[in-house]
Structure 1
Amino acid sequence: MHKGQFVLERSGLEQLLQALKAEGYLTLGPTVREGAIVYDEIERLEDLPIGYTDHQEGGTYRLRRRSDEALFGYNVGPHSWKRFLHPPLLRLFRAHRVNGKLELEGEAQPIPKYAFLGVRACELRAIEVQDRVFLGGPYQDPHYKARREQVFLLALNCTQAGNTCFCTSMNSGPKAQRGFDLALTEVLENGQHYFVGQVGSERGARLLGQVAHRPAQQSEWSQAEALVAQAARSMGRQLDTEGLKEMLYHNLEHPRWEEVAARCLSCGNCTQVCPTCFCTSVEDHTDLAGQMAERTRRWDSCFTADFSYLHGGSVRVSTRARYRQWLTHKLATWQDQFGSLGCVGCGRCITWCPVGIDLTEEVAAMRASPSGQPWFTPPAGGAHV
């Protein structure tokens, strides 16, 4: 037996799902909808993308049938767990005028207890990054905090890598290292279908005690480890992070920015699918009668002209400036702000870019021919581009 590891049969996973529901969790996981694998409510195992995988390239995403009945035999789709912890649209408050007095309402819906099923290692790292953004500083986001405190995380180690994945370069996968309640590796071999698991928290151990499981044999654990190792060896992309921040700071005027700007549509797709991007804008609305006012927060993007608007106009008026802002923030100034990279190597920005712009390719091109000069010297305390 392999100490500390367990095996969950397919029927045990169903029991786990139902145990979460019995404890009041809203169970969310991958499911097939409109030609993609997205995250939505899961009532039973049959809602999972059974027998599906995905093929991804720059600007390309296609679902394909597998030759087996794997439940988690895909990589990642357009959704990330960010949409539940940091919603795309959030009502901050609503005020009504009643008999000359204002009455305030908070969020439109009560905050559920979420259980995330099938969280990949890169996505766990993305949640960790957003925890640092929203909870790590002197001012915490109460909306994020209220959601994050109640989440149950069931991680799924990757046994295959996509063509746009580069999590090994970011030290964020394919195996979940921390931040989960339970972590599973799906194994299909010789007609057997089971999950080798690891407990990551007391909450996970307590839930596991409610479902049928058994200790893992050494051969079963070794097989699971071999599958994860194979995924690590088959990454579709690589990103050299050695000295990355300094390289970008010293190439802010590199001609490559113009080349990528000629292709970029400034559509913001990369920021919408990114599991770590967090930019928002706040909007106020009133009704025609003047009896109601509402303030909402919605996702925004550094690729929109209005996002950098100050009195008199936008700061970043060109596509070149906006793409440079996004890439240098993600891979350089993010480190000054939060002490880590803002990229986890999930590859979504490559897959869902309509013209297939690849940030790993852009960085490699600048490394190959460094020729720019910084238009400022980054201060010791950090900088924003």
Structure 2
Amino acid sequence: MTGAAHADAVLDRTGLGELVRALVRRGRTVVGPTVRDGAIVLAELSSADELPYGWGVELEAGHYRLRRRDDAMAFAHSAGPKSWKTFLHPERVRQWSADRAPDGSLTITAEPDDPPSYAFLGVRPCDLRAIAIQDRVLTKGPHTDETYRRRRDGAFLVVVECVEPGATCFCVSMGTGPAAHGSYDLVLTEVHDAGGHRFWARAGSEEGAAVLAELSPAPADGATAEAARAGVERAAGLMGRTMPEVDLRLMLRGTLEAERWNDVAARCLTCGNCTMACPTCYCTTTEDIIDLTGDHAERWRRWDVCYDLDFSYVHGGVVRGSGHSRYRQWLTHKLGTWHDQFGSSGCVGCGRCIVWCPVGIDITEEAHALHAESLDRPAPGPGGGEERA
């Protein structure tokens, strides 16, 4: 929590609708989960009725299916194909355009950027950590990403704690869930039992308390709070995956010549699906577009992936020419050298990379396999294990 005003209450389904309307009255663009195109995706909501009440998901490596639930829970589903990165760090952004007049003069126009004032409804604890990681990467270093900052500044975060993790979740291993930790405005915990369907709501900021005060909730009661805490605690014991209980950064330093990389390279398509679905991957490139007349040009920034053959291109050639080296770069950076750059892991345990890999490569399985192989290898010295293509 932010340490600001604290308040708690109980909302029913009507109260959740009031929450969305209150945020809209404040000029917020509300984004949350909804059913669309055979998945639960994040999209702009005009009403809380668009939430995926009664829908769950069936997850496995390379497998995602919607399923009907026996109850009307709105948030009893795991992270979907989209993350909040889609809204805070957009896939494509036009940076400027240039036009040449008949007299030869050139006009360069910076792309105006006036993003919505966002309210994110249904942020999972793992994704709350992912937002904090991208805050560190994109705004806390010597160079600020202004596109991200303008979207992130003032965004209102409504976190929903997990009470039913998916088969590919491993947030407990990464210390990111299923309880909410960090900076948010409101946090909800969904309860569906003999006492009814309701949400235990707590404020984590002054604005969160003010919004909660605009609603007509029931006072917080001990039974709801206890049921909510029990649901989150139960979820922590239902994780479908784990990471090895070792220092992953240190372990990975000694695996750069491991045979396991050959095994995964034989399966990996280097398609980049894992990085597109990942809520923390942040790499971008630029592309220039010019029309056939030569009088109009644009520069766009777009997401890039370390699986792209040209990602590591330098004068003279590509540094990582094999799928083996590109997968190794992604995994060792995500779980290891990210610490050296940004002081934390780049993985939050959401499991998206497992679900959306078309051949079902499982980052937790690879980590366990590498750990098992590392037990037969001598530990590296300080600073050992430099990347080799």
Specify if TM > 0.5.
yes
Are positions 1:7 and 2:34 aligned together? no
Q: Which residue of 2 aligns with 1:103?
A: 107
- Deviates further, 125-134 or 233-242: 233-242
Q: Percent identity?
A: 51
Q: Given the superposition, is the C-alpha separation of residues 282 and 361 from structure 1 closer, same or farther in structure 2, using an over 3 Å criterion? A: same
Secondary structure of the residue aligned to 1:168 is helix
Q: Distance in 1 between matches of 2:314 and 2:221?
A: 62
Matches within 5 A, 1:30-41: 30-41=33-44
Provide TM-score, normalisation by structure 1. Answer: 0.95
Question: Does residue 363 of structure 2 align to residue 359 of structure 1?
Answer: yes
CA shift digits 1:31-55 (9 cap, x unpaired): 1111111001111122111110001
Within 2, Cα distance between the matches of 1:88 and 1:341? 23
Q: Which amino acid aligns with 1:262?
A: A
The one of 321, 332, 335 aligned to 1:317 = 321
Letter in 2 for 1:130: Q
Match of residue 47 from structure 1: 50
How far is 1:241 from its partner?
A: 4.8
Go from structure 1 to structure 2 and tell me whether the alpha carbon gap of 1:67 and 1:375 turns closer, same or farther (over 3 Å shift): same
CA contact (8 A) 1:252 1:372 kept: no
Question: What is the alpha-carbon distance in structure 2 between the residues aligned to residue 373 and residue 292 of structure 1?
Answer: 59
- The letter for the 1-side match of 2:80 is G
* Partner in structure 2 of residue 155 of structure 1: 159
Q: Is the 8 A contact 1:8 1:214 kept in 2?
A: yes
Distance 1:241 1:143 in 2: 37
Aligned position for 1:179:
183
Q: Deviations over 1:196-252 (max 9, x none)?
A: 011111111111111112331111100000011111010000012522111101111
Query: Structure 1: how far apart are the matches of 2:378 and 2:286?
Result: 36
Q: Is the 8 A contact 2:17 2:49 kept in 1?
A: no
Within 1, Cα distance between the matches of 2:50 and 2:109?
35
Which whole-Å CA distance do the structure 1 matches of 2:157 and 2:72 have between them? 23
**Hey, what does 1:188 align to over in structure 2?**
192
Letter in 2 for 1:63: L
Q: Establish whether residue 343 from structure 1 lines up as the match of residue 368 from structure 2.
A: no
Q: Which runs of 4+ in 1 moved over 6 A?
A: 373-377, 382-385
SS at match of 2:192: strand
1:42-191 correspondence runs (5 A) = 42-98=45-101, 100-107=104-111, 110-190=114-194
After superposition, give the CA deviation of every residue in 1:329-352 in whole Å (9 maximum; x if it has no partner).
001110000000000000000111
Question: Structure 1's 366 and 308: CA in aligned 2 closer, same or farther, altered over 3 A?
Answer: same
**Residues 311 and 377 of structure 1, relative CA distance in 2, 3 Å threshold:** farther
Is the Cα contact below 8 Å between 1:252 and 1:373 reproduced in 2? no
Equivalent of 1:290, from 290, 294, 303? Answer: 294
Structure 1 residues 384 and 175: CA distance shift in structure 2, 3 A: farther
- CA contact under 8 A between 2:335 and 2:345: conserved in structure 1? yes
Find 2:212's aligned residue among 201, 208, 226: 208
Asked if the contact 1:333–1:383 (Cα under 8 Å) also holds between the matched residues in 2, the reply is no
Letter in 1 for 2:258: H
- SS of the aligned residue for 2:280 comes to coil
Q: Which amino acid aligns with 1:254?
A: A
Structure 1 contact 155–180 (Cα < 8 Å) conserved: yes
Whole-Å Cα distance in 2 between the matches of residues 107 and 181 of structure 1?
31
Question: Out of 297, 304, 307, which is 1:303 matched to?
Answer: 307
Inter-CA distance 307–241: structure 2 relative to 1 (3 Å threshold) = farther
Q: CA contact under 8 A between 1:253 and 1:373: conserved in structure 2?
A: no
Structure 1: where are the runs of 5+ without partners? none
Deviates more, 1:298-307 or 1:91-100: 91-100
Q: C-alpha displacement at 1:368, in angstroms?
A: 1.2
Deviation at 1:374, TM superposition (A): 9.2
Provide the C-alpha distance between the structure 2 equivalents of 1:52 and 1:324, rounded to a whole number of angstroms: 36
Question: How far apart, in 1, do the equivalents of 2:141 and 2:387 lie?
Answer: 17
What is the DSSP-based 3-state SS (H/G/I as helix, E as strand, rest coil) of the residue aligned with 2:214? coil
- The CA RMSD measured in Å over matched residues stands at 1.9
Give the number of equivalent residue pairs.
Answer: 381
- 1:107-142 deviation line (CA, Å, top 9, x unaligned): 366311111110000000000000000011111111
Corresponding position: 1:269 with 2:273: yes
Equivalent pair of 1:280/1:297 in contact (CA under 8 Å): yes
CA separation in 1, counterparts of 2:379 and 2:238? Answer: 36
Q: Deviations over 1:305-349 (max 9, x none)?
A: 011111222111111000000000001110000000000000000
Structure 2 CA distance for partners of 1:335 and 1:153, relative to 1, 3 Å: same
Identify if the C-alpha distance between structure 1 residues 237 and 287 changes in structure 2 by more than 3 Å, giving closer, same or farther.
same
User: Structure 2 CA distance, aligned partners of 1:258 and 1:318?
Assistant: 11
Whether the 8 Å contact between 2:307 and 2:326 is mirrored in structure 1 is yes
1:28 match: secondary structure: strand
2:335 is aligned to: 331
Match of 1:245 among 230, 246, 249: 249
Residue 384 of structure 1 and its aligned partner are, at CA, apart by 6.7
Residue type at the aligned position of 1:271: T
> Given residue 313 of structure 2, which amino acid in structure 1 is its aligned partner?
Y
* CA separation of 1:372 and 1:284: change in aligned 2, threshold 3 A: farther
| 3-state SS of 2:106 partner | strand
Structure 1 residues 70-116: Cα deviation after superposition (integer angstroms, max 9, x where no partner): 11121111000001000000111112234544333333663111111
User: Aligned AA for 1:181?
Assistant: D
Report the 3-state secondary structure (helix = DSSP H, G, I; strand = E; otherwise coil) of the residue aligned with 1:335.
helix
In structure 1, the residue matched to 2:31 is 28
Task: Provide the TM-score with structure 2 as the length reference.
Answer: 0.94
